[in-house]
A and B are shown apart, each in its own frame.
Chain A
Amino acid sequence: MNFIRLGAVGMGMGRVGIELKQFFRDRESAVFNFLLPMILLVIFGSVFGGQDLGDSGITFSQYFVAGMIASGILYTSFQNLAISIPMEREDGTLKRLQGTPMPPAAFFIGKIGMVFVAYIAQVTILIAVGVLFFDIDIPTTSFAIFTFIWISILGLIAFTLLGIAYSVVPKQGRGAAALVSPVVLVLQFTSGVFFVFTDLPQWMQSFASLFPLKWLAQGMRSVFLPESAAAMEVNGSWELGMTAIVLVVWIVLGAFLATLFFRWTPRGEN
């Protein structure tokens, strides 16, 4: 039994390497899921970068980089998997794996591992670009770093599971991006990534509060903005406890949906 479990983990680790090679060698995926936050940071930072938000003394870039890191979680996990898995289902990647003795757990370990490594690389470059070109202040307190780490981990797990579950929505690999990008864009526009969250209409704020991205962006602002900026949030605080609760609920829901809906072969092929 131990041997079998080690086998699944060992094979899963092997799959992380293979998944990463495929992720970075596929040019579309590398640009769309990996480089996009950097490109957006450079564009938005160059246009609005120097402006302060009200009289807070906080630059737009500082606010925006928190939202871009939260978006990075969404890109590397949800967007990446919800587009690539339908393609892998269509081209037979999944069917081939199903026909080998590889335990299914190894496949999911490989996906999660790929998402984590891609995110760590992405966030490192994102922060480096922010510091070098847009005078971003990076957090130094151990509390901020701890918050950054747990929010990243919970966000990545939630959106990885949701990406696996959502991968059954596109019927064909080719059209997958068209069904995934609108979801990603709507979440970004309503969750305080491109605009200051409190400037959005009330109904939009309520809508976004149902989904994880709003909480990820708010949590990242708690990491990158000064303590005084908490007063600018909806409830005048960072609400880290609530953030943890919402993310855990979405992880449970995502795990349930992913196990219920995931399939190795296209619909109708059984």
Chain B
Amino acid sequence: MGGPHVIDADQVTKNYGEFTALAGVCVHVDAGECLALLGPNGAGKTTLTEILEGYRTRDSGEVEVLGVDPSKPTGAWRSKLGIVLQNASDLADLTVSETITHFARYYPNPADPEQVIAAVGLTEKAGARNGKLSGGQRRRLDVALGIIGNPEVLFLDEPTTGFDPEARREFWVLIDRLKSEGTTILLTTHYLDEAQYLADRVAVIARGQIVAHGTPDSIGHRGDAIVTWSEGKREMSESTTEPTAFVAALASKFDGEIPHLRVRRASLEDAYLELIAQDRDIHAGEHL
């Protein structure tokens, strides 16, 4: 894997009783890079993320984040990390402003609380109790708490759950800015457009293993085009590397226009769904 990475995980395994959560995962992220971790629920994304954050222990393998083994965390190391966990509902009785100002005290080099509140778009809600925020606002508070310490590495575990499309766009702009300032980001998400927009690289994890990784544009069979059309009431679809020839052949089948013809490049979502389906087929084969 070459030189020192900001995040370096090598052959990480983790079992919960009979269940294998991670079966030898290798992940590395360079300084200033954003890696998106994709995968179905239960694939091991959160287990891996929480091992890197120092919350969970691993059974075997080597892990370093900023040169420190997360299973031996120190205060100085933690002050360089920003963590946005899944589904938080804590701190309900404090106001947004009280919360951010208080957490800034824990860090040696915090951002300005007012600026952070503004950056996540909560200025109008600064005096509101956290428990009264909507789902999306609450999530933005979590993001604010993740970045208040000016982290070198930011972990985002499904950060935009419950956001409306506009809020999600605003969040992307915010994360883009952190990236341009050199923050290293590990993003876990179910939204593939989010990974497409934010990530320099994506890794697909299934059943505790990385089944594919690459840039958002190259992962899977992305040379393929997808042609869709209708025949009677049926929706037809074909994946092909020669869409022009395919459409020409198709045109000769129809008199004139091909109904509902559409030709598009395979998206990250198409590639992801195909990878997961392939993995499921292989896994089903193992049990025969």
Contacts and interface: CB of A to CB of B under 8 A. Distances in A.
Interface of A: 4, 10-11, 14, 18, 21-22, 25-26, 88, 91-93, 95-96, 98-103, 265, 269-270
Contacts of A103: 75
A171 to B, nearest CB: 18
B145 A96 contact: yes
B282 to A, nearest CB: 30
Contacts of B81: 99
Interface string B73-84: 001101101010
A18 B98 contact: yes
Nearest to A10: B105
Interface residues of B, number: 30
A96 B94 contact: no
A4 B75 contact: yes
A25 B93 contact: yes
**3 nearest CB pairs, A to B:** A93-B90, A101-B79, A25-B93
Given A4-B75, A101-B79, A14 B88 contact: no
A11 B106 contact: yes
A91 B92 CA distance: 10
B129 to A, nearest CB: 8
8 contacts: A11-B105, A91-B88, A91-B90, A92-B85, A93-B90, A93-B91, A99-B78, A270-B56
A98 to B, nearest CB: 7
Given A18-B98, A96-B145, A88 B78 contact: no
B149 interface: yes
A88 B93 contact: no
A103 B102 CA distance: 14
A265 B55 contact: yes
A257 B76 CA distance: 29
A265 B78 CA distance: 17
A25 B129 CA distance: 10
B239 interface: no
Contacts of B76: 101
A8 to B, nearest CB: 9
B106 A102 contact: yes
Nearest to B81: A99
A95 B102 contact: no
B103 interface: yes
Nearest to B75: A101
Contacts of A269: 55-56
B78 A101 contact: yes
B85 A95 contact: yes
Nearest to B89: A91
A92 B89 contact: yes
Contacts of B105: 10-11, 14
Contacts of B54: 99
Nearest to B53: A99
A270 B107 CA distance: 25
Nearest to A26: B93
Contacts of B196: none
Interface in B102-124: 102-103, 105-108
